[in-house]
């Protein structure tokens, strides 16, 4: 027996309500904020991700779905959404458009990981990217969008964590002092962190190992090392967030797992969540990324949110989802001639924009009405030999249990 590959899943009809609710809410927010949709390929040149995400990140080190295609090209299934959008920005000369360029995407994301609650090998993200403007007001706009999305979806108890990790001018100095600090305590670090110390110092802040965690309490904070420009940017961002009534808390340990971030980083999580995959979304600024990918120096800021995790949290919080409407009518019949009439009638109803299911079986009327009941149709239409002769149908209101005979060419009118 075949099964969906590990870490992937089929999204069955009962689940779809959550998905369309989330997608529609997200798209509506984007319309409201003037963000336009972009779709990029599911796979890209592997180097795009290695260069943007960073060689020493977990994603690149062990999680990418990479392969050589038959033409000998190194291909990677998209493990995140930002780099492809930036690639498209450069490729299509979007720097010629009015800046910033505001884009959003909904896409499948692939990472080879051990699946667990809220973590899959294929998951789906909604994300936005605002490219071509370094103003902190744009950071605030993006954070505001993320927040409003969650609020509009009906999620409660949200917390916004914020940090600034500086830019290429001030970060080296910070990293130096961070490295110096941890080197002093090298002996008490966990093995992972010893390794990270040399390669990816920032990530030590993220370690949940108790002894590392204790060290982190006293570790130098990135916001104390910001250059004047970054400090100003961060100050102004915070004042904009206050202006927009977005409550945030500073988190000095928040660094994010992708190398391209500069200055602003943030995460949003539902309150009271424990465990490691608490964040339903996050993002930040990446002012060097587009240049790294071969474009003109272009700042950018964005966020991404996991649709599966949103659905999970909507369920956890018992948020009511609008359900898809059942068909208006179910057409049942008895006999061959009646079936012909039923087929024609169903077709005409649909042309009048009335949703209709025809019972295609030759089963008993009783069985057909049972199906009508399960389908949730508001009306059942019954066509038998008598009705064929008199060119009428029986129109039955399922909820009331009442029925009337109407001329077959007046059915659409009777349903209005």
Nearest residue (CB) to RNA, 242 versus 373: 373
Q: How many residues bind RNA (CB under 7 A)?
A: 68
- Residue 301 · residue 285 · CB < 8 Å: yes
379 SS3 class: strand
Among 15, 56, 206, 291, binds RNA (CB under 7 A): 206
* Residue 125 found at the interface with RNA (CB under 7 A): yes
Nearest residue (CB) to RNA, 211 versus 242: 211
Tell me how far apart the alpha carbons of residues 177 and 136 are, in angstroms, rounded to a whole number: 27
| Edge-to-edge strand ranges of the sheet holding 402-407 | 356-358, 329-333, 379-383, 392-397, 402-407
User: 128 to 147, contacts with RNA by CB under 7 A?
Assistant: none
User: What mask of x and - would describe binding to RNA in positions 213 to 232, judged by CB under 7 A?
Assistant: --------------------
Question: Minimum distance between the CB of residue 340 and RNA, rounded to whole angstroms?
Answer: 15
User: 289 to 328, contacts with RNA by CB under 7 A?
Assistant: 304-306, 308-309
Pairing mode of beta strands 248-250, 158-164: parallel
- Residue 21 · residue 226 · CB < 8 Å: no
User: What mask of x and - would describe binding to RNA in positions 39 to 58, judged by CB under 7 A?
Assistant: ------------------xx
342 SS3 class: helix
What is residue 106's DSSP assignment?
Answer: E
Among 128, 153, 382, 395, binds RNA (CB under 7 A): 382
Q: Which helix (H) or strand (E) holds 249?
A: strand 248-250
- Show the CA angle centred on residue 354, arms to residues 351 and 359, nearest 5°: 95
* Residue 396 found at the interface with RNA (CB under 7 A): yes
Nearest residue (CB) to RNA, 30 versus 109: 109
Question: Minimum distance between the CB of residue 296 and RNA, rounded to whole angstroms?
Answer: 25
**C-alpha closest to that of 256 among 265, 268, 244:** 265
Nearest residue (CB) to RNA, 3 versus 96: 3
Tell me how far apart the alpha carbons of residues 272 and 270 are, in angstroms, rounded to a whole number: 7
Give the interface segment with RNA, choosing from 39-47, 87-95, 153-161, 382-390 (CB under 7 A): 382-390
38 SS3 class: coil
* Residue 398 found at the interface with RNA (CB under 7 A): yes
* Residue 285 found at the interface with RNA (CB under 7 A): no
- Residue 148 · residue 134 · CB < 8 Å: no
Give the interface segment with RNA, choosing from 24-32, 218-226, 241-249, 368-376 (CB under 7 A): 368-376
C-alpha dist (Å) from residue 208 to 176, 177, 190: 22, 21, 10
Tell me how far apart the alpha carbons of residues 109 and 306 are, in angstroms, rounded to a whole number: 9
Nearest residue (CB) to RNA, 96 versus 274: 274
- Residue 101 · residue 301 · CB < 8 Å: no
* Residue 12 found at the interface with RNA (CB under 7 A): no
Among 71, 275, 322, 325, binds RNA (CB under 7 A): 275
- Residue 91 · residue 49 · CB < 8 Å: no
* Residue 102 found at the interface with RNA (CB under 7 A): no
Site for RNA, rule CB under 7 A: 3-4, 6-7, 57-59, 80, 109, 111, 113-120, 123, 125, 192, 203, 206-209, 256-258, 267, 275-282, 304-306, 308-309, 334, 363-367, 369-374, 380, 382, 384-387, 394, 396, 398-401, 403
């Amino acid at each position: 027996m075949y099964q969906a590959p590990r870490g992937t899943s089929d999204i069955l009809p009962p689940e779809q309500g959550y998905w369309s609710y989330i997608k529609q809410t997200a798209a509506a927010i984007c319309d409201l904020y003037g963000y336009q949709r972009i779709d990029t390929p599911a796979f890209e040149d592997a180097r795009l991700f290695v260069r943007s995400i960073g060689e020493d990140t977990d994603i690149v080190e062990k999680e990418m779905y990479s392969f050589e295609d038959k033409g000998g090209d190194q291909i990677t299934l998209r493990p995140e959404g930002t780099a492809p959008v930036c690639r498209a920005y450069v490729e299509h000369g979007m720097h010629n458009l009015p800046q910033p360029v505001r884009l959003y995407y909904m896409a499948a994301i692939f990472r080879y990981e051990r699946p667990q609650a809220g973590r899959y090998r294929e998951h789906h993200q909604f994300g936005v990217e605002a490219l071509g403007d370094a103003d902190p007001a744009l950071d605030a706009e993006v954070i505001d969008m993320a927040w409003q999305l969650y609020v509009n979806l009906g999620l409660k108890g949200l917390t916004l964590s914020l940090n600034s990790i500086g830019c290429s001018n001030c970060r080296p100095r910070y990293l130096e002092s961070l490295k110096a600090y941890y080197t002093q305590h090298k002996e008490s670090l966990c093995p992972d962190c010893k390794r990270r110390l040399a390669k990816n110092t920032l990530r030590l802040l993220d370690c949940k190992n108790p002894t590392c965690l204790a060290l982190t309490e006293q570790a130098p904070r990135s916001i104390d090392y910001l250059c004047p420009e970054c400090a100003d940017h961060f100050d102004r961002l915070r004042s904009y967030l206050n202006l927009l009534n977005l409550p945030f808390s500073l988190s000095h340990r928040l660094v994010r797992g992708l190398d391209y971030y500069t200055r602003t980083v943030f995460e949003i999580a539902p309150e009271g969540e424990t465990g490691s995959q608490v964040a339903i979304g996050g993002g930040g600024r990446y002012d060097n990324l587009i240049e790294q990918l071969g474009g003109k120096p272009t700042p950018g800021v964005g966020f991404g949110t996991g649709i599966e995790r949103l659905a999970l949290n909507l369920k956890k919080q018992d948020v009511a989802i609008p359900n898809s409407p059942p068909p208006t009518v179910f057409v049942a019949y008895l006999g061959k001639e009646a079936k012909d009439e039923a087929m024609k009638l169903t077709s005409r109803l649909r042309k009048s924009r009335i949703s209709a299911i025809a019972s295609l079986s030759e089963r008993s009327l009783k069985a057909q009405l049972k199906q009508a009941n399960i389908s949730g149709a508001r009306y059942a239409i019954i066509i038998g030999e008598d009705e064929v002769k008199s060119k009428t149908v029986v129109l039955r209101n399922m909820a009331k249990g009442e029925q009337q005979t109407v001329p077959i060419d007046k059915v659409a009118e009777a349903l209005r």
